[in-house]
Amino acid sequence: MDAKTQKAELTRAAIVGAAMELAGREGLESITLQAVADRIGLSKSGVFSRVGSRETLQKAVIDEWGRRFVDDVFVPAMQQPKGLPRLDAIVQRWIARTRDVETRTGCIFSAGAFELDDREGPLRDHLHGEILRWRAALRRSVLQAVEAGHLRAGTDAEQLVSEIYALTLGMIHDARFLRDSRAAERANATWQRLLSTYRA
């Protein structure tokens, strides 16, 4: 990679990073080219030339946030054997990431889902697709745990995925809004109790 290309990629990363910080604090709709330009000392046209339209930048934020989540949660968990060890690692790492990251910066996916739930359009569709992709990966892990005999035969994978999602959303609420310092501890206890009802 030549120096010019490297500089362009670093600048784009800085733009997306600034937009992510803005979205974490004020929501996806708060992202504007001018607001991001002001944060990193570029002109509005300079931001546009590197990322394109406002909507393109919003989508880039969703993509980057999803990439970081996958790197922190799913990629390391995939090192565990298929079945309950892998599923447990996913949930444990999700709780840890929520405690260490989302509690401080906000969860762009969960906040975005509430922000865009009644707004049709490409941005909602993009976020919707990313969330469904996560849930599909989680569902596969549940089904693998059933196939391995770790969870009860006939386990409703969609139900368990929904319960795991509810667990993490509840943790975000308690940690950020209630400022409960034990939110992660409670989420872990909830997960262990939930898991005990599904074990084979």
The predicted-structure confidence for 90-141, as pLDDT tens digits, reads as follows 999 999 999 999 888 888 999 999 999 999 999 999 999 999 999 999 999 9
- 1 confidence band (pLDDT: 50, 70, 90): low
Choice among 1-15, 35-49, 145-159, 166-180 with the minimum mean pLDDT: 1-15
**Which among 100, 110, 75 has a CA at the least distance from the CA of 89?**
75
Provide the pLDDT for residue 9: 85
pLDDT in tens, 10-33: 889 999 999 999 998 899 999 999
Are the CB atoms for 186 and 174 separated by under 8 Å? yes
- What b-and-e string marks burial along 104-117, b requiring 16 or more CB atoms within 10 Å of the CB? eebbbbbbbeebbe
Percent of the chain past pLDDT 90, that is, above it, reads 88
Amino acid identity at 160: L
